Amino acid sequence: MKLNSTIAACALALAAQAAMAGSVLHSFPLKPVLDTQPGGDDVALYFGSQTPPAVASQLGSDSESAHVPRKYGDDDQTSCNVALTQALRDLRSYARVHHANGVINIRTRFHETETASDTDYTCATSSGAAALKVTGDLVVIDTK
């Protein structure tokens, strides 16, 4: 009898832990992240419907994912900002390698929830991580 009670209690605890491990979707402002972007002046970023200067050529598209562990004490927005910073760093790096000086039509998403906004981005958090994906079109912007 005692063994059955112990097994039932363990099963209940595991079920409760699994229920709490789900991802929660968030929408946060882009500005705090963009204001702190390190060394990205050579590749301009245009989110959603922001209009870039004249585009000389299009070079394809790229998607970069970020899945970062949450630090103890960080709130959801802080963790998501770290994930977005990492994904944008990788997007800019890919653009440089492919000789693009701009990325336009940038969208953020988590699974099927996508945001094409000039002001906000989509991210998901769980108890242990923050995750998102950024997608954009690589371009050469006419600088003349």
What distance in Å separates the CA atoms of residue 50 and residue 65, rounded to the nearest whole number? 22
Domain ranges of the chain: 23-141
pLDDT at 1: 56
User: Identity (one letter) of the amino acid at 126?
Assistant: S
Q: What is the mean pLDDT of residues 98-124?
A: 97
Each residue's pLDDT tens digit, 12-43: 444 434 444 599 999 999 999 999 987 668 99
Helix/strand/coil for 103: strand
CATH number of 23-141: 3.30.110.70
pTM: 0.83
